[in-house]
Amino acid sequence: MTALRVAIVGSGPSGFFAAGNLLEQDDVEVQVDVFDRLPTPFGLVRYGVAPDHPAIKSVTKIFDRTAQHENFRYFGNVEVATHVTAAELAQWYDAVIYAIGASGGRRLEVDGAWLPGNHPSSDFVGWYNGHPDRRELDVDLGVERAVVIGNGNVALDAARILVTDTDKLAGTDMADHALRALHGSAVREVVVLGRRGAEQAAFTPAEVAELGKLPGVDVIVDPADVPEEDKERDKARPPVERNNIKQLRRLAAAEPTGADRRIVLRFLRSVVGINGEGKGGPVRSVSIARNELVEGEDGTVEAQPTGHVDEHDAGLVIHAVGYHGTPIPGIPFDTERGVFRNADSRIVGYDGEPLPGHYVVGWIKRGPSGVIPTNRDCARDTVSVLLADAAEGRIPRSAFDGAQVEKLIAERVENLVEYDGWMAIDAHETALAEEHDRPRVKLTSVDEMVDAALGGSGETPA
Ligand SMILES: Cc1cc2nc3c(=O)[nH]c(=O)nc-3n(C[C@H](O)[C@H](O)[C@H](O)COP(=O)(O)OP(=O)(O)OC[C@H]3O[C@@H](n4cnc5c(N)ncnc54)[C@H](O)[C@@H]3O)c2cc1C
């Protein structure tokens, strides 16, 4: 049997883990082409993971090894939907795995959420990480207080970045434009708001503990917001909750040092309105409702407003309230969950029937939750369903071969960046960083990246 030809759309962790898994198979030969809309691979590893968490990014070494496989090709700077349609991919390949992530940001739906000074966390995080789509974002840091809405790790990342000493950030791969802006920042207090209580927080213990260790930053937690120590009750809590509470008790007990910058963690608070200066002017304050917890019929704990609302000055609001995927024409989409419609890793139509040869992996399959290793298990599931379908003849084989497809893509895409092009970008970024003792200096525009991929200076062509 000829090799199975699989296209993977998206080169984030889920796409790369799926590629690695397919190429490791002993009983079937697979050829894998990975597409990404950007010249640079690795998705949120490059554009989401915080710059001051470099160890997390070392997972790319595994992806580099996958890319060295003789049956692997990378087609970067190719957007599926724009340069190539889903219908074409279905014709050109035996199977297509969608791994496009879910990195569109949600905003809280309250009055004033679109005023200048509001940013979904996806935009803010993409801005400081140098995502080409977000490099022009206008983040006004000339304000004293910022509010971060949300209680997950992304909310804590955003809060930490806003108050971390820029001398420390200068040793990371944070985008230069963000470093400059943060260096001149007037932000002195970041208030992080959780709709529910400390026990329901979605962040993890290591992230909350890290806040307490930031030099020059006081972390304020109201002791009344944290359940009192109770050995029996604490023992019965799930481990993440137990350790979160332990860390929060520590922070609540610490005396503020009078540091120049503060992070305030507030629980049982919802933003119910964002107020601008005049009509349509930038954010000047937020209206915050206090909540109480009520237990639903199904046992889940929900926040309910008590009717008490306070107004607090603030000039910057980061909405860290979740992510959603972006539809691709021809692929059935679940608008509510923001994912491709799927069952058991197969993309399914609106009638629930699988679309032959169409699969899904990562955040666009499960929704925006789970850390990088979660995508490894997810990819294993997707690949095993795909291979079982192929073995049982449920996949229609393509009449195209790899050379024909490469020619078609090269005709369509003016500035195709293959893996050696990415390696040239990588070499260029790391060389730029050497004299500054940084891991890399990121190129942030597609033009600069294409230029560096072709062996140029990485400067934007005139
Ligand atoms: C702010 C933030 C911080 C995080 N920090 C951590 C952390 O510290 N540790 C950890 O383990 N996990 C972290 N995560 C979670 C982790 O990043 C995700 O689990 C993981 O990236 C999801 O992988 P994915 O492949 O599904 O999506 P993504 O990583 O989003 O990759 C999707 C890829 O698809 C490409 N793409 C999109 N549309 C198209 C298209 N139409 N055509 C071609 N290509 C397309 C994108 O350019 C991108 O490269 C973080 C997430 C966020 C948002």
**Which protein residue's CA is at the shortest distance from atom 38 of ligand 1?**
100
The DSSP bridge pattern shows strands 145-149 and 4-9 to be unpaired
* 351: CB partners within 8 A, 6+ apart: none
Q: In the prediction, which pLDDT does 460 show?
A: 54
Q: How confident is the model at residue 112 (pLDDT cuts 50, 70, 90)?
A: very high
Neighbours of 177 (CB within 10 A): 18
If you search the block for the tokens 């207090």, which residue do you land on? 189
Atom index in ligand 1 nearest the CA of residue 154 equals 1
7 — alpha (psi -120 to 50), left (phi > 0) or beta?
A: beta
Residue nearest to atom 41 of ligand 1 (CA): 80
In which residue are the tokens 């206008």 written?
138
**Pocket lining: 363 vs ligand 1, CB cutoff 6 Å:** yes
pLDDT of 279 higher than 90: no
What separation in angstroms does the CA of 243 have from each of 115, 156, 250, 266, 358?
A: 37, 16, 11, 18, 41
Distance 70 CA to ligand 1 centre (A): 25
**Residues forming beta bridges with residue 118, ordered by sequence position:** 317
120 pocket-lining for ligand 1 (C-beta < 6 Å)? no
Please report which residue ranges of 170-292 form alpha helices under DSSP H: 176-183, 205-212, 231-236, 239-253
Centroid of ligand 1 to alpha carbon of 268 (angstroms): 30
Give the DSSP H or E segment for 30: strand 30-36
Question: Who contacts 84 (Cβ-Cβ below 8 Å, separation ≥6)?
Answer: 35, 78, 409, 412
Is 1's pLDDT higher than 70?
no
Cα 422 to Cα 45, 172, 226, distances in angstroms: 15, 20, 48
The finding on whether 8 has its CB within 6 A of some atom of ligand 1 is no
Both tokens assigned to 115: 């005023």
pLDDT tens, position by position, 145-188 = 999 999 999 999 999 999 999 999 999 999 999 999 999 999 99
**Between β-strands 346-348 and 354-360, what pairing exists: parallel, antiparallel or unpaired?**
antiparallel
How far apart, in whole angstroms, are the C-alpha atoms of residue 33 and residue 12? 14
- Per-residue pLDDT reduced to its tens digit, 404-457: 999 999 999 999 999 999 999 999 999 999 988 899 999 999 999 999 999 876
Q: What residues are paired with 407 via a beta bridge?
A: none
Ligand 1 pocket test: which of 100, 119, 131, 449 has the largest number of ligand atoms within 8 Å of its C-beta?
Answer: 100
Check pocket membership of 100 for ligand 1, CB cut-off 6 A: yes
Give me the amino acid identity at 326. T
The total number of residues written for the chain in this structure:
462
Burial class (CB in 10 A: 0-12, 13-18, 19+), 209: middle
| 194-227 pLDDT tens trace | 999 999 999 999 999 999 999 999 999 999 999 9
Backbone angles phi, psi at 289, to 5 degrees: -95, 140
Pairing of strands 189-193, 269-276: unpaired
Closest ligand 1 atom to the C-alpha of 82? 41
- Classify burial at 365, counting beta carbons within 10 Å of its beta carbon; exposed 0-12, middle 13-18, buried 19 or more: buried
Percent of the residues in the chain that have a pLDDT greater than 90, as a whole number = 94
Query: Which is it for strands 261-266 and 217-221: parallel, antiparallel or unpaired?
Result: parallel
pLDDT value of residue 459: 66
Atom 4, ligand 1: residue with shortest CA distance? 49
State the distance from the centre of ligand 1 to the C-alpha of 310, rounded, in angstroms. 36
Cα–Cα–Cα angle for 340, 345, 350, nearest 5°? 45
Q: Mind listing the pLDDT tens digit for each residue in 120-146? A: 999 999 999 999 999 999 999 999 999
Q: Given this model, what pLDDT does residue 457 score?
A: 66
Q: Whose CA is nearest to atom 12 of ligand 1?
A: 371
User: Does pLDDT of 338 surpass 70?
Assistant: yes
Pull the structure tokens for residue 278.
């005049």
d(Cα 315, Cα 145) in Å, to the nearest integer?
A: 6
Whether residue 462 is predicted with pLDDT greater than 50 in this model: the reply is: no
Provide the Cα torsion 86, 88, 89, 91; round to 10°.
130
Distance (angstroms) between ligand 1 centre and the Cα of 147 equals: 25
For residue 461, pLDDT over 60 is answered with no
pLDDT of residue 455: 81
Q: What is the mean pLDDT of the chain?
A: 96
Assess whether the C-beta atom of 325 lies below 6 angstroms from ligand 1.
no
Testing ligand 1's pocket by substitution, the residue of 8, 33, 49, 78 carrying the most ligand atoms inside 8 A of its CB is: 49
Q: Could you report the per-residue pLDDT of 244-253, keeping only the tens digit for each?
A: 999 999 999 9
Q: What is the pLDDT of residues 287-304, one digit of tens each?
A: 999 999 998 888 888 999
Nearest Cα residue to atom 21 of ligand 1: 44
Going from the Cα of 36 to the center of ligand 1, the distance in angstroms, rounded, reads 12
Give the angle subtended at the CA of 147 by the CAs of 271 and 321, to the nearest 5°: 60
C-beta of 206 in contact with ligand 1 (< 6 A): no
pLDDT digits (tens, 9 = 90+) for 228-240: 999 999 999 999 9
